[in-house]
Amino acid sequence: MLEIGAQDSYPPDAVVVRCDGAALTDVEKDAGVQPLDAARFRSAMGKFATGVCVVSYLLEGRPAGMTASAFMSVSLDPPLVLVSVRNQSRLLTSVTVGDRYAVNVLARHQDQVSDHFGGRPSDATPCAFQHSHGAPVIDDCLAAIVARVVDLHPAGDHTLVIGQVEHLEERAAAPLIYFGGRYRRLDGVV
Ligand SMILES: Cc1cc2nc3c(=O)[nH]c(=O)nc-3n(C[C@H](O)[C@H](O)[C@H](O)COP(=O)(O)OP(=O)(O)OC[C@H]3O[C@@H](n4cnc5c(N)ncnc54)[C@H](O)[C@@H]3O)c2cc1C
């Protein structure tokens, strides 16, 4: 394995970051290697293009939602999905093992919905909820996945919320894409 510092040169257009917290060597400084910080971490993670979803749930009996891009399918048998949720999120004050939540995959026109549930709320809620199989589901999404929480795994400043899928809905439409900290549109087939 090649260790940072043992290299003579780095790709000229790459930002190279040391992640182990150790002081940069002179070789690294000369090569422009940078220490890890939150902005660098976010920037590198932002190179991974994702869709955008709103995780909806019941908060004191009323629908609530939180925008998330850290969503993935985990297992086919049994069907499991995972969302990584910030530990301070209101979702974690309400949702526990046995509860249901819905992952609403946003369509291209739903950037305002993402903003609203992602910390930039509009005056009026830009979507409606329907009750479906134990969870509030947002109208007009690309897909809705209703899952029952089977496990909560602490992971640093986030918690991995693992759910067993109990109900699926999907429709044909274009997705909302998130890349490099901005919303994008899908640019056709490769
Ligand atoms: C594109 C994108 C991706 C993100 N990905 C992640 C991720 O993967 N994991 C993560 O932890 N965070 C992620 N975030 C950040 C997260 O969405 C914000 O931190 C958000 O504020 C969630 O905070 P909260 O759970 O405390 O929700 P809250 O602050 O409780 O709610 C979020 C917003 O939704 C509004 N809201 C909630 N329910 C309703 C309702 N029923 N009617 C009307 N308004 C309502 C609230 O007023 C608030 O403004 C992402 C944000 C964006 C924009």
pLDDT at 2: 45
Given the CA of residue 56, which atom of ligand 1 is nearest to it? Answer: 38
Task: Answer whether residue 15 shows pLDDT above 90.
Answer: no
Interval 60-95: pLDDT, tens: 999 999 999 999 999 999 999 999 999 999 999 999
Name the residue of 67, 113, 129, 160 to mutate for ligand 1: max ligand atoms within 8 A of Cβ: 67
pLDDT at 29: 86
Given the CA of residue 63, which atom of ligand 1 is nearest to it? Answer: 41
Phi-psi region of 180 (alpha: psi -120 to 50; beta: other; left: phi over 0): left
Q: Ligand 1 in contact with 121 (CB < 6 A)? A: yes
Q: Ligand 1 in contact with 181 (CB < 6 A)? A: no
Given the CA of residue 183, which atom of ligand 1 is nearest to it? Answer: 1
Class for the domain spanning 50-178? mainly beta
* Per-domain boundaries in the chain: 1-48, 50-178
3-state secondary structure 23-38: CCCHHHHHCCCEECCH
pLDDT band at 110 (very low <50, low <70, confident <90, very high): very high
Mean pLDDT of the chain: 93
